[in-house]
Amino acid sequence: MVMTQISYPKKLVIASRESRLAMWQAEFVRDCLKKRYPDCDVSILGMTTRGDQILDQTLSKVGGKGLFVKELEVALEDGRADLAVHSLKDVPMQLPEGFELACIMEREDARDAFVSNDYAQLADLPVGAIVGTASLRREASLRSKYPHLDIQPLRGNLDTRLGKLDKGEYAAIILAAAGLKRLGMTERIRSLLSPEDSLPAAGQGALGIEIRAARPEIQACLAPLNHAPSAMAVTAERAVSRALGGSCDVPLAAYAVWEGGDLFLRAFVASTDSQTVCRSEKRLSLNSMAEANGIGLSVATDLINQGAMSLLPPR
């Protein structure tokens, strides 16, 4: 049998959004690659996406999560970049033909964070307190457990959202804990929401690296950065979301954790008014991406059998 020798590139360009968090993520990947391949010139191509530009409307009304990745994919397609670093929760469940997620790095804390200047936790908020979130998933969780709160949309990058809180526009905001921790802003977290109070989004806390599919030399470079336990967990989560047409206009959560040798996957789909919620969970010992995808499809099937499709907007 003839063995194909893959030579590693001498130069790599990372496409990234230009927000502070996105650049931190790209710089983190750059540093990991430079440490492993010291002779490789690794640089970052910063870009502004439509998702960064449109801040006066919710994502569900202007095109969804794909607004954050399209420009980066164009840079991959035309050869200006070799890989793109994404917060995995922002990556659509179906990638365009010719693209693939080549690597999923070790996951940060996937939980949601309660951020407030005046209150220590959600239970302390008074009737009518304004809480900001950009997520229908978070909104559904909050409305079901804290119906007395006034849930309002909150767009913008991390610094913009914190700025609106600090100006007094909100009593509290809900953010992904991972972003705050990565930027050294853990002190802004007043409390972490348990999965029981706010089940995370599929892929939350994980970094995904996207490439053009026909780039085996890039795949080989990224292989050592892939974290198999994280990859299997988020593969299961994304399988749930993909089967249900998960997008920004669907209040859907899917979260998997390793407990012993088992993967424990929980998911829910809610109506947009949060009055109806379908829930499912499964636990399975697994060893492959195919099995991870399978447990996700099993949970999705259970949700569909409960009537979840009737809660989703028409495709």
- Do 176 and 213 share a domain, yes or no? no
Per-residue confidence (pLDDT) for residue 48, from 0 to 100: 79
- Do 130 and 266 share a domain, yes or no? no
Neighbours of 288 (CB within 10 A): 11
Question: What token pair was written down for 129?
Answer: 């307190």
- The amino acid at 241: S
- Do 46 and 177 share a domain, yes or no? no
Among positive and negative, which fits the CA dihedral 153, 159, 163, 166? positive
- Do 99 and 3 share a domain, yes or no? yes
- Do 92 and 217 share a domain, yes or no? yes
Per-residue confidence (pLDDT) for residue 124, from 0 to 100: 97
- The amino acid at 286: L
Print the domain residue range for 175.
Answer: 112-192
CATH number, domain with residue 278: 3.30.160.40
139: left (phi over 0), alpha (psi -120 to 50) or beta: alpha
From 52, 82, 90, 109, active-site residue:
90
Per-residue confidence (pLDDT) for residue 312, from 0 to 100: 80
Q: Is residue 211 part of a domain?
A: yes
- Residues 103, 121 contacting (CB under 8 angstroms): no
Per-residue confidence (pLDDT) for residue 1, from 0 to 100: 46
Question: What token pair was written down for 268?
Answer: 């829910």
- Do 94 and 212 share a domain, yes or no? yes
Per-residue confidence (pLDDT) for residue 56, from 0 to 100: 46
Q: Is residue 200 part of a domain?
A: no
- Do 100 and 119 share a domain, yes or no? no
Per-residue confidence (pLDDT) for residue 67, from 0 to 100: 65
Question: What's the rounded Cα separation, in Å, for the pair 166 and 162?
Answer: 6
- Do 213 and 100 share a domain, yes or no? yes
Q: Is residue 124 part of a domain?
A: yes
Which are the contacts of 45, defined by CB distance < 8 A and separation ≥ 6?
13, 14, 15, 16, 75, 80, 81
- Cα atoms in the 13 Å half-sphere on the side-chain side of 36: 14
Q: How many domains does the chain have?
A: 3
- Do 66 and 212 share a domain, yes or no? yes
Last residue of a domain, one of 167, 192, 217: 192
CATH number, domain with residue 164: 3.40.190.10
Q: Is residue 273 part of a domain?
A: yes
- Do 143 and 281 share a domain, yes or no? no
Per-residue confidence (pLDDT) for residue 250, from 0 to 100: 80
Per-residue confidence (pLDDT) for residue 70, from 0 to 100: 86
Q: Is 90 among the residues known to form the active site? A: yes
Which are the contacts of 51, defined by CB distance < 8 A and separation ≥ 6?
17, 59, 65, 67, 68, 90
- Do 90 and 15 share a domain, yes or no? yes
Q: Is residue 45 part of a domain?
A: yes
Q: Is residue 199 part of a domain?
A: no
Q: Is residue 171 part of a domain?
A: yes
- Residues 222, 102 contacting (CB under 8 angstroms): yes
- Do 54 and 41 share a domain, yes or no? yes
Question: What's the rounded Cα separation, in Å, for the pair 259 and 297?
Answer: 20
Q: Is residue 313 part of a domain?
A: no
Question: What's the rounded Cα separation, in Å, for the pair 108 and 230?
Answer: 9
Alpha helices in the chain (DSSP H): 20-36, 50-53, 59-62, 70-77, 136-145, 158-166, 177-182, 216-222, 228-243, 289-305
- Cα atoms in the 13 Å half-sphere on the side-chain side of 262: 8
pLDDT below 50 — which residues of the chain?
1-2, 51-64
Residue with tokens 């424990």: 264
- Residues 267, 281 contacting (CB under 8 angstroms): yes
Per-residue confidence (pLDDT) for residue 246, from 0 to 100: 67
